[in-house]
Structure 1
Amino acid sequence: MSQTSSSTARPPHSAPVFDQQPQPSNAKSRIPVTPALLRSIFASSRTPLEERSISRLAFFRFAGFLLSCLGISLVAARGRGIKSGAALLGVV
């Protein structure tokens, strides 16, 4: 038996055909992705105790970051010969 090929034959691994034009989306039907929404998604997978622990850890890390920034600024100001804190803030 001989096999003939026709112009309507499909390739063996044919992929689904998608429209090239993006479909217009209805802005009212889409939920905006906000940080609060993302946080609630991740928080729903944790217990309240785990959530409190993570929040506490994040707070102390942020406080440590701010204190280290303040300490580095004070050390840099001391190295430049600025004696008062008001001069550091540009008040004087």
Structure 2
Amino acid sequence: MSQLRTVQVLGGGAGSSARVSSLAAGLVARGVQVTVCAPAGSGHAHGLPASGTRFVAVPRRSDPAAVAALRTACAGADIVHAHGLHAAVRAGIALSGRG
């Protein structure tokens, strides 16, 4: 069985970052490959790379470049979990048309 891959998308709020940091650490401890997509700087503020997660800086915008970066980060993910309304809208746009 292959390793489960999940992407956590943050909108940039400090509360979400702390929850996602805890969630990511727990998932990694259970053998899940975790990628966190958030605005630059938020991953390092909560120690995400140290927890074994992959951090991808994605601006908190919905322009084509930001959506393309999010789409690339989500490629191959089994689960994409958005934290917050803004993150959900961006993830929905990025994942639209995906099988």
| TM-score bin (small chain) | under 0.3
- Using structure 2 for the length normalisation, give the TM-score: 0.21
Q: Which has the higher contact order (CA 8 A, sep 6+)?
A: 2
Give the strand-richer structure, 1 or 2: 2
Give the helix-richer structure, 1 or 2: 1
